[in-house]
Amino acid sequence: MRTDLPVGIHDLTFATTSLVLTHDELARHTGTNPAKYRHGIGQTSMSIPAADEDIVTMAANAAAPIIERHGTDRIRTVLFATETGIDQSKAAGIHVHQLLGLHRNVRVVELKQACYGATAALQLACALVHADPRQHVLVLASDIARYDLDSPGEATQGAAAAAILITTHPAIATINTPSGLYTRDVMDFWRPNYRTTPIVNGKKSVDTYLEALDLTWHDYQQQGGIPLEKLRAICYHQPFTRMAHKAHHHLLKTTGTTPTTQAIKATTTYNETIGNSYTASLYLALTALLDSTAPLDGETIGLFSYGSGSVAEFLTATLQPGYQPHLRTQAHQQAIADRTPLTYDTYRTLHTAQLPTDGTEHRTPHHTHGTYRLAGTNAHQRLYEAGPARTSST
């Protein structure tokens, strides 16, 4: 076993849903000033899943380009991070394994700790590759942020999946050590098994997020981390994009640095139009930064991961020389542009719709623009299929 080999992100991409609700449309029906959404929380629209889209279909659609580019032979592990799981026992990644045609000599595991889960998966993936440099690990982070209608959290909904391939000698970024860690038992955001939407204490969640940022940064420094001025940019978990600005100001104040928002502006472009995607949110922020026009070859960037309840981590990644040709900027921008706008009434109908719980056969209409779809349910089983994408309006 060699532990000195560079390990990190060899490929990175995301997928979102086929539908979108703009905050202008939401504001027209709620009586809210649209500026409250654009400037107050930093959001302009939110991805909404069609009836035949869920965390499995988004994850499969995100991972497919990685499989097409790199093949499956060296993938030995699939780690699926989510807080909107579809089964209390079976990992959602097993459905993705089947849809993508991965070989059987693979371990598939689901990880959960609110929005932090994907960073746990990333660290586990790096450890597995350090232990066996021949293998590749596919990390999937897929979530649908869904809140009660007419609740304060409604405007922060969203949905997306990130797919990350972890290897030695990565083309995009190495993941560095050390990292700063934090855990505290706090009820700021949670979803009991009997609820389909979470319970949120918004003020407590913001306060706990900032406390976690303070303490992970302090621990990172105690572990021998580099000073703030050596980080070219920082990507933050973004339940709404103004939270990233608030967090950045907070960290700069804590470290005695003059506040500025320019360092994180490029990290918010995808999340402000997709909305919250829980486990995928931080990695959409990273993707947005990398897809920006400024080259960052050789630069080290910070990553702050937070999951309510709560667990947090501050870590860093160093971008590799020549990383930009490996990015998928056009595909990401196209995925956002291709979403079909929803009317407010159609959005509310989709929000209240539920799959049958009595085991009867149910077929979902074909609305997704993606390759993979939830075809329906039968005998308490979810049925997935691959097929041509639908391109007509919904």
First to last CA, the chain: 53
Read out DSSP for 123-169?
HHHHHHHHH-TT-EEEEEEEEEE---TTSTTGGG-EEEEEEEEEEES
The single residue of 23, 53, 95, 115 carrying the catalytic annotation is 115
202 with 242: CB under 8 angstroms? Answer: no
Assess whether 115 carries a catalytic annotation. Answer: yes
Q: Which of 7, 54, 19 is nearest to 161 (CA)?
A: 54
Q: Which residues pair with 44 in a beta bridge?
A: none
Q: What angle do CA 131, 132, 136 make, to 5 degrees?
A: 120
Residue 140, class by beta-carbon neighbours within 10 Å (0-12 exposed, 13-18 middle, 19+ buried)? buried
Annotated active-site residue in 10, 237, 248, 367: 237
Distance between CA atoms of 391 and 355, rounded to whole angstroms? 24
Name the catalytic one among 53, 83, 272, 313: 83
218 is catalytic: no
Query: How many Cβ atoms sit within 10 Å of the Cβ of residue 44?
Result: 16
CA distance 37 to 35: 5
Helix axes 281-291, 117-131, angle to 10 degrees: 70
Q: Which long-range contacts (CB under 8 A, 24 or more apart) does 26-29 make?
A: 26/154, 26/155, 26/344, 28/344, 29/344
Active site residue 380: no
Give the tokens for residue 292.
């920006």
Structure tokens at 141: 């982070």
Nearest Cα to Cα of residue 68 among 287, 350, 328, 293: 328
Where in the sequence numbering do the catalytic residues fall? 83, 115, 237
